[in-house]
């Protein structure tokens, strides 16, 4: 019986679930609007109840994602200001990019070209940090511009008119970037890469096996055992139903994402 360790808490997993659902909702209802001249976009919008209905679901998803963003900020604030966990800001348990990440990136590229060994990854790899901040930045920029567009009359009281043209552009282009990023790079790095194909269930089960932890994140494993923290995060093996749940939800999300991405590629290069 292999040992399992907890990597993501239930709260983190639920928050990721909310993020996933609202992001997929936003992408499915937003991209047909961005590519409104494409035949598939018209078909999809019509099938989902028309562009008006899509606008409603787009805004609903936006509110959910905003909620997700605020809960995360509140959680971070609590850890930082109430529990005084400075590890949030720096060190191996932090998502903040640090000089070591650049070294890791360099080593990874060297490994790509067969010029060195694979880097010894820790709790968060450089690309996971990039993922995190891409989403963080995306939520702030796309969300912010989205609210300006939603309440344009209100914002026009104190913002100059050109802001709306720019927010309109930014909202669409950043969204395109976000969708392109999540549906290819995030999917690949987290799930589809050969080491994990077809799916890494850790975001659904929260648990990682001792073997996986040791081979994928040796730096993390050694640090935890050195500091005697491994026992504290020991967990039950993930239940079968939980693994199946993760497989179904994950497969559905990846499918929707890849289909949407294919359609976007058609729309971008087909015109």
205 neighbors 7 (Cβ within 8 angstroms): no
137 binds another protein (CB under 8 A): no
Report helix, strand or coil for 9: coil
89 neighbors 72 (Cβ within 8 angstroms): no
165 binds another protein (CB under 8 A): yes
| Binding positions for another protein, 27-46, rule CB under 8 A | 33, 36-37, 42, 45-46
> Least CB distance from residue 28 to another protein, whole Å?
16
136 binds another protein (CB under 8 A): no
160 binds another protein (CB under 8 A): yes
60 binds another protein (CB under 8 A): no
> Least CB distance from residue 161 to another protein, whole Å?
2
90 binds another protein (CB under 8 A): no
Task: Please say which residue, 136 or 188, places its beta carbon nearer to another protein.
Answer: 188
For the chain, how far is it from start to end, CA to CA, in angstroms? 55
> Least CB distance from residue 147 to another protein, whole Å?
15
Using CA atoms, how far apart are residues 233 and 73, in angstroms rounded to an integer? 24
161 binds another protein (CB under 8 A): yes
109 binds another protein (CB under 8 A): yes
Q: How many residues bind another protein (CB under 8 A)?
A: 43
Using CA atoms, how far apart are residues 88 and 80, in angstroms rounded to an integer? 7
266 binds another protein (CB under 8 A): no
**For residue 245, how many C-alpha atoms fall within 13 Å in the half-sphere facing its CB?**
12
Q: Which of 1, 82, 153, 240 binds another protein (CB under 8 A)?
A: 153
List, in order, residues 6 or more apart from 260 with CB less than 8 Å away. Answer: 27, 28, 31, 179, 183
Q: Which of 18, 64, 80, 177 binds another protein (CB under 8 A)?
A: 177
> Least CB distance from residue 260 to another protein, whole Å?
15
Q: Which of 169, 248, 252, 259 binds another protein (CB under 8 A)?
A: 169
Stretch that binds another protein, among 9-17, 160-168, 204-212, 245-253 (CB under 8 A): 160-168
Q: What are the E-state strand segments in the chain? A: 4-6, 207-209, 234-235
**For residue 183, how many C-alpha atoms fall within 13 Å in the half-sphere facing its CB?**
24
Measuring CA to CA, which residue among 154, 87, 159 is closest to residue 124? 87
Using CA atoms, how far apart are residues 244 and 182, in angstroms rounded to an integer? 23
List, in order, residues 6 or more apart from 75 with CB less than 8 Å away. Answer: 11
Q: Which residues of the shown chain bind another protein in the complex (CB under 8 A)?
A: 33, 36-37, 42, 45-46, 50-52, 109, 111-114, 127, 152-154, 156-157, 159-166, 168-170, 173, 176-177, 180-181, 184-185, 188-189, 193-195
């Amino acid at each position: 019986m292999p040992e399992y360790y907890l990597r993501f808490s239930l709260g983190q997993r639920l928050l990721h679930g909310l993020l996933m659902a609202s992001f997929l909702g936003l992408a499915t209802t937003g991209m047909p609007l961005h590519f409104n001249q494409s035949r598939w976009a018209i078909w999809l919008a019509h099938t989902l109840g028309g562009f008006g209905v899509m606008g409603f679901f787009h805004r609903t998803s936006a509110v959910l994602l905003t909620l997700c963003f605020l809960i995360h900020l509140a959680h971070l604030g609590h850890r930082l200001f109430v529990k005084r966990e400075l590890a949030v800001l720096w060190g191996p348990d932090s998502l903040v990019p640090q000089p070591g990440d650049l070294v890791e990136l360099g080593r990874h590229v060297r490994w790509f070209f067969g010029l060195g060994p694979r880097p010894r990854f820790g709790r968060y790899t450089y690309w996971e940090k990039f993922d995190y901040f891409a989403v963080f930045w995306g939520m702030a920029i796309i969300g912010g511009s989205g609210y300006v567009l939603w309440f344009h009359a209100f914002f026009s009281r104190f913002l100059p008119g050109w802001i709306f043209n720019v927010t309109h552009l930014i909202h669409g282009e950043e969204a395109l970037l976000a969708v392109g990023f999540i549906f290819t790079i995030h999917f690949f790095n987290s799930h589809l890469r050969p080491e994990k194909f077809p799916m890494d269930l850790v975001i659904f089960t929260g648990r990682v096996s001792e073997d996986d932890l040791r081979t994928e994140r040796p730096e993390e494993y050694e640090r935890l055992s050195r500091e005697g923290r491994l026992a504290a995060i020991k967990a039950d093996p993930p239940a079968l139903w939980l693994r199946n749940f993760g497989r179904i939800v994950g497969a559905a999300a990846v499918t929707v994402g890849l289909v949407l991405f294919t359609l976007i590629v058609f729309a971008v290069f087909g015109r």
